[in-house]
Chain A
Amino acid sequence: MTLDPTLSQIRDGLRPFRRRLWLRRVVRDGTFSLAAVMGLELALALAARIVPLEWGRVAAAAIPLLGALALLVDAVRVRPTLGETALALDGEQGLRDRVSSALEIALRSPDLVEAPLAAEDAPTAEGTATEDAATYARFVRLQRRDALSTLRAADRRAFRPRLQRRPAAVTVVLALLLVPALLLPNPQSDVLARRENQRAAAERQAEKLEKAAERLAEGRTAPDPRLDLSAELKKLARELRERPEDLDAQLARLGSLEDALRARIDPANEQRAAALSSLARSVSRLSSGQDSNPGGDPKKANEDLARLGEKIDGMTKAEREALAADLAGLESTARQAGAEAQAALRNASQALGRGDAAGAKDALGRLGDALARGARNVELNRDLARTANDLQDARRQLADAGKPANQGQGQGQGQGQGQGQGQGQGQGQGQGQGQGQGQGQGQGQGQGQGQGQGQGQGQGQGSLGGGGSNARFLGSGSSSGGFGGPTAGNKQFSTGDIDKVLADFGRLGKPGDPSYVAGTGGDGQTQQGSGTGQGTPSDAFVPYTGVFQDFYDFAITSLERSTVPLGVKDYVRDYFSSLNP
């Protein structure tokens, strides 16, 4: 179809204006988009200061992209038609609807669109419909010419892109507000960092729990309880991964399992282990006549017991009696190793005493079995204890990860002075000797307002300053010159909310640390004794060899009953091993 040339020229003439109008629309909508983006960014920045938004950075980056995308879509959408351009041009340049009328009437009168139009001066039959149609066509033609001439005279710089004042002003204001909102420290950043740490810690602990589970299940067959424990640990690990943010629930689950494990652990396991080792070592020595089993291996002891049983038939009565006596001498150790071992040992001893070689063999066999079962139980208990410690460690790590970053600093304080000899322990036990001066040694652990523990040793002379402290474990001492005890009760230890989480055992002092950790003053008053007191001989001076076993038992029991990491347990065991007479 060939367009009427005038109409075609009008359309061609409108195209540059259409591009300019399009650009103006894009600039206009871009201003709105920019204002919207700024507004959303500001709202996001403000919201991120009120509540921790983990997706805040992603959203902050996505908003401008979405704004640009929306503008792109809008740019396609707002592309003006020629008709819109004509209307806009008429309005902008005051053309009194000349151009738009020419175009719209062309659409309305398709028969007048095609070229050529009837000649302007073509004769028509007057007074008829044809005349009216011709008049109409003449008007259309005149309108198009008028529109074309108007269009040619129109200002080519029409539709100059311009910023919308209000959205531009809003954009500037929002940008100014956005700067401090972004630059000032955000209190929610710590929360987000803590959550991130929490997730990382949960992942780490989940891995550890899975490793522990694999370790427990390795080589085990049903109905070994460690298989169930392994499944439980895997379940916990999975929950940790799935819901790391649910810190309280995770801690509760870990604590629950840990408590269940601790309830199953034999508190005298290590004592029993030591007794089993000692018994195994002793029975091997009885069998071979030498220290053939220094490690106290129950298997080796079992073999040695079997050989010992074979030797019984060839023993003289005196040798049997001597063996019975030796076995009877091991009964106290066997009692600690377990009732079964004790009964088997007693039966063997009694059978030997009666000359019942078969009964003795049988009893020795049962002793060997009891040693093996005891060793397995010890191993099971140790696995349970290790797992409980792993759970405890996981709880601590998770709890630490959930703590605000600027907390956790504490100051351990404790102070003690003692005179004479004595040893202070956590429970305030102490012994001293009168008669003058001596060296004192004390240990204490303290915790101040925050958290932390200290351990120190001190030496001093003079009466005990028992004014009190905030130490976790209270100190004590004795004096020969009259006991200068505290006149007021020691202040009750208080750690506030920190008891809700576990103590940081990693901060325990080591030998070589400062002799004491300064503590805050207590509420009590110090009353010092003075003068030369005669003192009273104290029963406290007892050779340590006599009380070593009691202290050892007490320490081992305490270790098993308390939530103490394995490293600390080993430390305590090493300490007692070094003192073992």
Chain B
Amino acid sequence: MTEQAIEPAATRLSPEEFADRARAIEREVGRVIVGQHALVRQTLIVMLANGHALLEGVPGLGKTLLVRTMAEVLDCAFNRIQFTPDLMPADIVGTNILIEEEGGRQFRFQPGPIFANLVLADEINRATPKTQSALLEAMQEQQVSVARQRYKLDPPFFVLATQNPLEMEGTYPLPEAQLDRFLFKLWVPFPAEEDLIAIMDRTTGAETATVEHVASGADLVAMQRLARSVPIAPHVTAYAVSLLSATHPDNERAPGLVREYVRYGGSPRGAQALVLAGKISALMAGRFNVAIDDVREVALPALRHRVIRNFEGEAEGITPDAIIRSVLDAVPPPRVD
């Protein structure tokens, strides 16, 4: 379909190589992105899990830069879509256009910006729901349908969407169904002062930081495949499920905060995200097994957008992170004395 079609990995990747490459990607991204180590790592986890991330943060924190840098480091096709209220679905997925060729006119599909390995959906909440929903099929099925024709998106395919939590007027909050399709919702924190100083040094000088390709799309696919092969112990899987179950207010292990302020808990995709991200986290740490701590580490980004607060929760300003933390406290790791 596209010129950047990725072939399956030519060689088998070992777990050690996985960790090395992941560290290399992090290191290379870190040459441009100052600080934000957790954000970089979590973004990488999303990409290695073949998922999508929703980045939320105030303007100017480097969200777009992060995604662009990722694309450069991974040597993937990158497209950026600036979502606006007048953006139409066809502007994303593409459309059939009438082409005059020798012998007559014919419709030809003109792919939209979605056809890339890495798609940055900037300020996704500024587009109408109709346009937002155009991403649904692409994100979940990794294909788009135009005029009864299906067009496969080449792997790897990532959607990294951003949204601004401050300027909410004229925005269209993402529906729960679409939110659920993001593996992680990442909160982009404001940099620490020392990081800001480094940012100033890097961005106001004559030199511009550049990155090198340290991995290809094929490498990424191989890493994704390897990550899914990591065996996980039943008690770790059970713990991930327990965490997810505890986000439901009617669950017996649900903490008070969940019972009081949560309308709906996380979907099964949440548990999938915990397990898959846990596997990648373990591999990136150089381990061959998933620990319960790996699951707990990814609980916040994997579940914070899947917990739907009720009116009281929103009115009283109970953050999803506070709810997830209470869940983590309520479901401690299984302990054998």
Interface residues of A (CB under 8 A from B): 24-25, 28, 80, 84-85, 87-88, 91, 96-98, 100-102, 104-105, 108-109, 124, 126-127, 131-132, 135-136, 139-140, 142-143, 146-147
**For residue A102, which residues in chain B have a CB less than 8 angstroms away from its CB?**
289
Please tell me which one of the listed residues B8, B15, B236, B333 contacts residue A101 in the complex, with CB atoms under 8 A apart: B236
**For residue B337, which residues in chain A have a CB less than 8 angstroms away from its CB?**
24-25, 28, 88
The answer on a CB contact under 8 Å between B234 and A108 is yes
The answer on a CB contact under 8 Å between A96 and B231 is no
The answer on a CB contact under 8 Å between B233 and A97 is yes
**In the complex, how many angstroms separate the beta carbon of B334 from the nearest chain A beta carbon?**
7
Please tell me which one of the listed residues A25, A98, A109 contacts residue B289 in the complex, with CB atoms under 8 A apart: A98
Specify which of B225, B235, B289, B335 lies most central, judged by the most chain A CB atoms within 10 Å of its CB: B289
Question: Within the assembled complex, what's the spacing in Å between the Cα atoms of A139 and B335?
Answer: 25
Given contacts A105-B232, A108-B231, 9 further A-B contacts (CB under 8 A): A28-B337, A80-B336, A97-B291, A101-B233, A101-B289, A126-B8, A139-B229, A143-B288, A147-B289
The answer on a CB contact under 8 Å between B287 and A96 is yes
The answer on a CB contact under 8 Å between A136 and B231 is yes
Please tell me which one of the listed residues A24, A84, A97, A136 contacts residue B236 in the complex, with CB atoms under 8 A apart: A97
Does B152 count as interface, using CB distance less than 8 angstroms?
Answer: no
A-B pairs with CB below 8 Å: how many?
A: 79
Closest to B287 in A: A96
Does B144 count as interface, using CB distance less than 8 angstroms?
Answer: no
**For residue A108, which residues in chain B have a CB less than 8 angstroms away from its CB?**
231, 233-234
**In the complex, how many angstroms separate the beta carbon of B223 from the nearest chain A beta carbon?**
12
**For residue A97, which residues in chain B have a CB less than 8 angstroms away from its CB?**
233, 235-236, 289-293
**For residue A136, which residues in chain B have a CB less than 8 angstroms away from its CB?**
229, 231
Q: Using a CB-CB cutoff of 8 Å, which residues 233-270 of chain B contact chain A?
A: 233-236
The answer on a CB contact under 8 Å between A100 and B333 is no
Closest to A89 in B: B336
**For residue A147, which residues in chain B have a CB less than 8 angstroms away from its CB?**
289
The answer on a CB contact under 8 Å between B234 and A96 is no
**In the complex, how many angstroms separate the beta carbon of A512 from the nearest chain B beta carbon?**
82
Contacts A139-B15, A146-B287 given: A109-B231 contact, CB under 8 Å?
Answer: yes
Question: Within the assembled complex, what's the spacing in Å between the Cα atoms of A127 and B234?
Answer: 27
**For residue B231, which residues in chain A have a CB less than 8 angstroms away from its CB?**
101, 105, 108-109, 136, 139-140, 143
The answer on a CB contact under 8 Å between B235 and A98 is no
**For residue A101, which residues in chain B have a CB less than 8 angstroms away from its CB?**
231-233, 236, 289-291
Does B81 count as interface, using CB distance less than 8 angstroms?
Answer: no
Please tell me which one of the listed residues B230, B291, B334 contacts residue A96 in the complex, with CB atoms under 8 A apart: B291
The answer on a CB contact under 8 Å between B333 and A91 is yes
**For residue A88, which residues in chain B have a CB less than 8 angstroms away from its CB?**
336-337
Question: Within the assembled complex, what's the spacing in Å between the Cα atoms of A105 and B233?
Answer: 6
Q: What are 29 A-to-B residue pairs whose CB atoms are below 8 Å?
A: A87-B336, A88-B336, A91-B335, A97-B233, A97-B235, A97-B236, A97-B290, A97-B292, A97-B293, A102-B289, A104-B233, A104-B235, A105-B231, A105-B232, A105-B233, A105-B289, A108-B233, A109-B231, A126-B8, A132-B225, A132-B229, A135-B225, A135-B229, A136-B229, A139-B15, A142-B288, A143-B289, A146-B288, A147-B289
Does B226 count as interface, using CB distance less than 8 angstroms?
Answer: yes
The 5 tightest CB contacts between A and B, nearest first, are: A96-B291, A101-B233, A101-B289, A88-B336, A135-B229
**In the complex, how many angstroms separate the beta carbon of B238 from the nearest chain A beta carbon?**
10
Please tell me which one of the listed residues A100, A126, A131 contacts residue B233 in the complex, with CB atoms under 8 A apart: A100
The answer on a CB contact under 8 Å between B289 and A146 is yes
The answer on a CB contact under 8 Å between A96 and B226 is no
Question: Within the assembled complex, what's the spacing in Å between the Cα atoms of A394 and B225?
Answer: 100
Please tell me which one of the listed residues B287, B335, B336 contacts residue A98 in the complex, with CB atoms under 8 A apart: B287
Q: Using a CB-CB cutoff of 8 Å, which residues 282-307 of chain B contact chain A?
A: 287-294
Closest to A86 in B: B336
Closest to B16 in A: A142
Does B12 count as interface, using CB distance less than 8 angstroms?
Answer: yes
Specify which of B231, B292, B334, B335 lies most central, judged by the most chain A CB atoms within 10 Å of its CB: B231
Question: Within the assembled complex, what's the spacing in Å between the Cα atoms of A85 and B336?
Answer: 8
Question: Within the assembled complex, what's the spacing in Å between the Cα atoms of A105 and B292?
Answer: 15
**For residue A143, which residues in chain B have a CB less than 8 angstroms away from its CB?**
231, 288-289
Question: Within the assembled complex, what's the spacing in Å between the Cα atoms of A102 and B234?
Answer: 11
Question: Within the assembled complex, what's the spacing in Å between the Cα atoms of A140 and B229?
Answer: 10
Question: Within the assembled complex, what's the spacing in Å between the Cα atoms of A139 and B333?
Answer: 24
Specify which of A24, A80, A104 lies most central, judged by the most chain B CB atoms within 10 Å of its CB: A104
Question: Within the assembled complex, what's the spacing in Å between the Cα atoms of A80 and B337?
Answer: 9
Question: Within the assembled complex, what's the spacing in Å between the Cα atoms of A140 and B235?
Answer: 16
**For residue B290, which residues in chain A have a CB less than 8 angstroms away from its CB?**
97, 101
Question: Within the assembled complex, what's the spacing in Å between the Cα atoms of A143 and B291?
Answer: 12
Question: Within the assembled complex, what's the spacing in Å between the Cα atoms of A96 and B333?
Answer: 11
**For residue B293, which residues in chain A have a CB less than 8 angstroms away from its CB?**
96-97
**For residue A91, which residues in chain B have a CB less than 8 angstroms away from its CB?**
333, 335-336
